[in-house]
Copies of this chain bind each other. A is one copy, B any other.
Amino acid sequence: MPYQSTDQTRQKKDAKRTAMMQAAVRVFAEKGYHAATIRDVVNAAGVAIGTFYFYFPDKETLFVYLYEETADFLLQAIQQAVTGRATLPKQFAAGLQSYVNIALYEPAVVQLLLVGGVGAVPALVERQATFRERLTAIWQRPLDTALDKNQIIPQNTRRTAEALAGAFDEIVLNLLNLPEPEMEADAALQDMIHFALRAVAYTGH
């Protein structure tokens, strides 16, 4: 009997593939692209080296894929939170809340994107640039809208958005470096929101 391929097997394979990707995210987040070895990844996943190459073509491809998946996940989460709100304060609050939540519960996601430690691998440098671009865009859109409504003072919203993106990342990374990030998360969140509202000179109407 020729072995069921559609049912359990397919699911198991997908499960293993997912497990390996999660292990890989953790390893890459912790060590960075170059310092992480395939052996690290397979050890973390509890499989043999050959198994890695059964599921993925090579190290770089996996990393790029992981990076993009992770970037999409983070960006969409923040974007979605922002999109659902009407006013700038609520947009900051929701977007940052989402960001902080991910940082707390999926720290590897944030570390992979923000630390990375790529250097010299063209394909990866490019993705990083794209990620920064998209992240900035998320913050810039609400600013443009608010500017239209005269709710913030005139400014180069693109530059402000860059600055905010950098500011938020720094706060979040510092948060993750604490021994107990959850203890400080709320305060950090509030500080970020207020910082942002001041920085854009939000007037309220």
A residues touching B (Cβ–Cβ < 8 Å)?
30-36, 115-121, 129, 132, 153, 155-156, 159-160, 162-171, 174, 177, 187-188, 191-192, 194-195, 198-201
A32 to B34, CA, bound (A): 10
A170 lies within 8 A of B177 (CB): no
Q: Whole-angstrom distance from the CB of A110 to the nearest CB of chain B? A: 14
B33 lies within 8 A of A119 (CB): yes
Answer whether A35 and B163 are a contact pair too, CB < 8 Å, given A129-B177, A198-B199: no
A165 to B164, CA, bound (A): 11
Contact of A34 among B35, B156, B167, B192 (CB under 8 A): B35
Q: A36-B120, A116-B119, A166-B169 are in contact. List 6 more A-B contacts (CB 8 A).
A: A32-B117, A132-B174, A160-B195, A163-B167, A198-B199, A198-B200
Minimum CB distance partner of A195 in chain B = B163
**Which chain B residues lie closer than 8 Å to A163 at the CB level?**
167-168, 170-171, 191-192, 195
A115 to B120, CA, bound (A): 11
User: How many of these chains are in the complex?
Assistant: 4
A120 to B198, CA, bound (A): 37
Contact of A199 among B159, B170, B199 (CB under 8 A): B199
**Which chain B residues lie closer than 8 Å to A155 at the CB level?**
191, 194-195
Q: Whole-angstrom distance from the CB of A50 to the nearest CB of chain B? A: 9
**Which chain B residues lie closer than 8 Å to A132 at the CB level?**
170, 174
B35 lies within 8 A of A120 (CB): yes
Contact of A166 among B34, B115, B171, B194 (CB under 8 A): B171
**Which chain B residues lie closer than 8 Å to A187 at the CB level?**
156
A36 to B119, CA, bound (A): 9
Contact of A191 among B31, B117, B121, B156 (CB under 8 A): B156
